[in-house]
């Protein structure tokens, strides 16, 4: 493709403007083909960026090691550049859009000026969701990173068709990324170019733009992920009347063959991917994956919310993933066609990370150092990742790419709570369900800064990802519930992490979570009993068949800890106070109602 062959003047001006500012040596249009992917991957192997893994162990797969200063998302360098600070709200870093454009795009000293010198600018036209789905959205990412191109080929749908749609005038999100490491003639390139001292991941919600500079890693650089799919899409969803959420989507089939679809939001380290790919322990029940991270949902003609997974791959945290914790994720990566970032490499050309089922005697760690079994140092970075095609997941549902989406019957919210919160709690109304989502929290552990047991609130698991004022985000959820003719999903709050007073886990988790899903499934059909409590509807009973659990543990899991909840009320009040007069009145009413019910 040649820029001169495009007919859309605005598109051409946008592209040419960035080419003139960044001054790349070459411009390459990406077509999503295996041929182009392999060409770029081979080039990265020759440059020392990619390390080819053994084809018998991990076919067509590569290992990559990042710069030590560029290993994760950088929330403190992530900005929402809305017109006013008030629009960004108290949970986001804000910068005046004019000031940020001057920092990045200033013609004299802007960071983007000449930033791609000596490099290739890749033009990536991509679709978030199946091409031509009414729920999907398009974007173009400009990048000078071949690593980004290969990952975007796995994580999104890259195709000349998308460029054609955009050239015909279809709206698209404008994404620009640079590692910020221009090359002069004769300069030796780094195996992980970046500008670790000047990182900016910036979002302009009013103009639907994402500008990222300095980092080559993950969501900082793969701009279709959290930047587009949540921060910008949440604003699009607010403006257009739909939902863009940090949620997995699973397909649940009962022994009779009846199907329901569930979407679930959990903060990090709460088992989201494990639930999306769960192997149920209950006989005859089946879980299949639609998506493991993000859900976009729009109302169908029948009034139900229909969801798609806007991504085409999994960008999973590697450490802790094993045949015990998530066998289907392991089976997915073992098929190959993956990129492994900051994992260790074994002597036989495979990869390794902490938590795997077998530990090698020797490997080379992510910092390129010899590593032996028993070493105190971590072989893989704690945020090491695998990028894998969703299509090769053994439990991917046949309808995962249905352009119409799948109808959601239930939402699950949850957090890591050692005390107070029961195993599962059903909201009594949509407003009550929004209250549960708005008060999602996890307790801090000894590994985190702060007081052990103190709550860290992460509303709807969207704390780092909502692209506008979170008080308005709550209001948007409440507005969704008032849509005429809407047939809304039921809402539940789950907690797999409850502990007894002596510290033992009350619930085994993993595949046993299917017992909770069974109750949710049957509640959606009004076929399971519940008990009304001050906090919501709890199971009258749960299918504990075959579980060797003390009766006292079962009772504690399914009971309302009134005194414990009274102690949580002040923390919820402090949490809500952050949102000032933008907090919807309905949520304060829900809090007052909870307090009254607990005092009776």
Distance CA 598, CA 561 (A): 10
DSSP structure class, residue 459: G
Q: Taking a C-beta distance cutoff of 8 angstroms, is the pair 405, 133 a contact?
A: yes
- pLDDT the model gives residue 538: 98
pLDDT given at position 447: 42
The predicted-structure confidence for 415-470, as pLDDT tens digits, reads as follows 999 999 999 999 999 999 999 999 999 986 544 445 556 789 999 999 999 999 99
Domain ranges (residues) in the chain: 3-48+78-241, 245-310+399-599, 313-392
Tell me the DSSP string of 225-281: IIIIIIIIHHHHHHHHT-EEES-EEEEEE-TTS-EEEEEEE--TTS-HHHHHT----
> What's 70's DSSP letter?
-
* pLDDT at site 268: 77
270 is catalytic: yes
Task: Considering the candidates 30, 81, 194, 270, report the single residue annotated as catalytic.
Answer: 270
What angle (nearest 5°) sits at the alpha carbon of residue 548, between those of residues 546 and 554?
100
pLDDT attached to residue 233? 98
**pLDDT of 107:** 85
- What pLDDT does residue 445 have? 54
CA dist., res. 418 & res. 446, Å (int): 13
- pLDDT, one tens digit per residue, over 354-378 is 999 999 999 999 999 999 999 999 9
- Contact between 498 and 506 under an 8 Å Cβ cutoff? The reply is yes
DSSP E strand stretches across 15-66: 26-29, 50-52, 62-64
| Residue written as token pair 């450490």 | 319
Q: What is the DSSP string of 192-228?
A: S---TTS-EEEEETTTTEEEEES--SHHHH-TIIIII
Assign a CATH topology to domain 245-310+399-599: Phosphoenolpyruvate Carboxykinase; domain 3 (3.90.228)
Residues of the chain with pLDDT below 50 are 446-449
Secondary structure, 3-state, 294-305:
CEEEEECCCCCE
CATH architecture group of domain 313-392: Beta Complex (2.170)
Q: Which CATH class is domain 3-48+78-241?
A: alpha beta
Number of neighbouring beta carbons within 10 Å of residue 553: 17
- The residues facing 590 across adjacent strands are none
Q: Is the dihedral of CA 480, 517, 327, 443 positive or negative?
A: positive
Q: What is the pLDDT of residue 455?
A: 86
**Per-residue pLDDT, 452:** 56
Strand pairing report for 26-29 and 200-204: unpaired
Q: What is the pLDDT of residue 446?
A: 46
């Amino acid at each position: 493709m040649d820029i001169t062959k495009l007919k859309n003047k605005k598109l051409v001006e946008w592209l040419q403007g960035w080419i003139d500012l960044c001054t790349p040596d070459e411009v390459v249009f990406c077509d999503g083909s295996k041929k182009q992917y392999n060409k770029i991957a081979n080039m990265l192997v020759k440059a020392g960026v990619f390390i080819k893994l053994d084809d018998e162990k991990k076919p067509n797969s590569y290992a990559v090691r990042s710069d030590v200063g560029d290993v994760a998302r950088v929330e403190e360098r992530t900005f929402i550049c809305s017109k006013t600070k008030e629009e960004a709200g108290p949970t986001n870093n804000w910068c005046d859009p004019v000031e940020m454009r001057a920092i990045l795009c200033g013609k004299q000293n802007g960071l983007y000026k000449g930033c791609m010198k000596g490099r290739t600018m890749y033009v990536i036209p991509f679709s978030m969701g199946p091409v031509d789905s009414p729920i999907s959205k398009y974007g173009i990412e400009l990048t000078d990173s071949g690593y980004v191109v290969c990952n975007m080929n796995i994580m999104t749908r890259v195709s000349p068709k998308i460029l054609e749609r955009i050239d015909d005038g279809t709206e698209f999100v404008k994404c620009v990324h640079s590692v910020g490491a221009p090359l002069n003639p004769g300069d030796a390139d780094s195996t992980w170019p970046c500008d670790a001292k000047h990182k900016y991941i910036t979002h302009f919600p009013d103009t639907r733009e994402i500008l990222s500079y300095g980092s080559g890693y993950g969501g900082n650089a793969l701009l279709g992920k959290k930047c587009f799919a949540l921060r910008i899409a949440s604003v699009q969803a607010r403006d257009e009347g739909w939902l863009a959420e940090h949620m997995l989507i699973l397909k649940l089939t009962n022994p009779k063959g009846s199907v329901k679809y569930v979407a679930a939001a959990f903060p990090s380290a709460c088992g989201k991917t494990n639930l999306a790919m769960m192997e149920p322990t209950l006989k005859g029940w089946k879980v299949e994956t639609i998506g493991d991270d993000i859900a976009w949902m729009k109302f169908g003609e029948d009034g139900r919310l229909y969801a798609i997974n806007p991504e085409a791959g999994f960008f999973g945290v590697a450490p802790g993933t094993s045949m015990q914790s998530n066998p289907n994720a392991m089976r997915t990566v073992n098929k190959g066609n993956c990129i492994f970032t900051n994992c260790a490499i074994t002597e036989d050309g495979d990869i390794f990370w902490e938590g795997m089922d077998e530990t090698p005697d020797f490997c080379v760690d992510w910092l390129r150092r010899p590593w032996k079994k028993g070493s105190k140092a971590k072989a893989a970075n704690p945020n090491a990742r695998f990028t894998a095609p969703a299509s090769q997941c053994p439990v991917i549902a046949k309808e995962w790419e249905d352009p119409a989406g799948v109808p959601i019957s239930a939402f699950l919210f949850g957090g890591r709570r050692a005390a107070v919160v029961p195993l599962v709690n059903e909201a009594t109304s949509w407003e009550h369900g929004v209250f549960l989502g708005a008060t999602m929290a996890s307790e801090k552990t000894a590994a985190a800064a702060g007081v052990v047991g103190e709550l860290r609130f992460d509303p709807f698991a969207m704390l780092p990802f909502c692209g506008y004022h979170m008080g308005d985000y709550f209001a948007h959820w409440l507005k969704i519930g008032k849509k005429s003719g809407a047939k809304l999903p039921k809402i539940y709050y789950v907690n797999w992490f409850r502990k007894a007073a002596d510290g033992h886990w009350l619930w085994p988790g993993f595949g046993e979570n299917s017992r909770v899903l069974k109750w949710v499934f049957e509640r959606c059909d009004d076929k399971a009993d519940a008990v009304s409590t001050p906090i919501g509807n709890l199971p009258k009973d749960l299918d504990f068949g075959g579980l060797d659990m003390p009766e006292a543990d079962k009772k504690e899991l399914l009971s309302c800890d009134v005194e414990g909840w009274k102690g949580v009320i002040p923390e919820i009040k402090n949490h809500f106070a952050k949102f000032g007069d933008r907090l919807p009145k309905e949520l304060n009413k829900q809090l007052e109602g909870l307090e009254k019910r607990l005092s009776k």
